[in-house]
């Protein structure tokens, strides 16, 4: 059985952990702590690649103002007013954005 208490070394610098939860494959990048999931192992790996790149600032642009957020939502085909109304109603992000 593998131990998660071993010292980090260069050989394990890019370690990931992958496990099954119900119908999903969950995957964590040990170094960053970034975790995501996918319906298949391949999808989980692709999602992790994107999530780690975003975490490290290697892709994507930061959204620093409410105006930039509204524009980004429009580009995704989402209605910024609908998102705002949902936040006011529940004081949290809509389920699809969590």
pTM of this prediction? 0.52
Please report the DSSP string for 18-86 in residue order: EEEETTEEEEEETTT--EEEESSHHHHHHHHHHHHHHHTTSSS----SHHHHHHHHHHTT--HHHHHHH
User: Residue 2 corresponds to which tokens in the numbers above?
Assistant: 């593998």
pLDDT digits (tens, 9 = 90+) for 25-66: 999 999 999 999 999 999 999 999 989 988 887 777 777 888
Nearest to 25 by CA among 48, 1, 3, 4: 48
φ, ψ dihedrals at 51, nearest 5°: -65, -40
Which domains does the chain show, CATH number per domain? 12-55 (3.30.160.250), 66-91 (no CATH)
């Amino acid at each position: 059985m593998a131990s998660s208490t071993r010292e980090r070394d260069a050989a394990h610098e890019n370690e990931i952990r992958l496990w099954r939860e119900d119908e999903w494959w969950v995957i964590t990048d040990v170094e960053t702590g970034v975790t995501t999931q996918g319906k298949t192992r391949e999808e989980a790996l692709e999602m992790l690649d994107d999530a780690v790149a975003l975490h490290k600032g290697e892709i994507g642009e930061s959204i620093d103002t409410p105006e930039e957020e509204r524009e980004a939502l429009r580009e995704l085909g989402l209605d910024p007013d609908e998102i705002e109304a949902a936040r006011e109603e529940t004081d949290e992000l809509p389920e699809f954005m969590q």
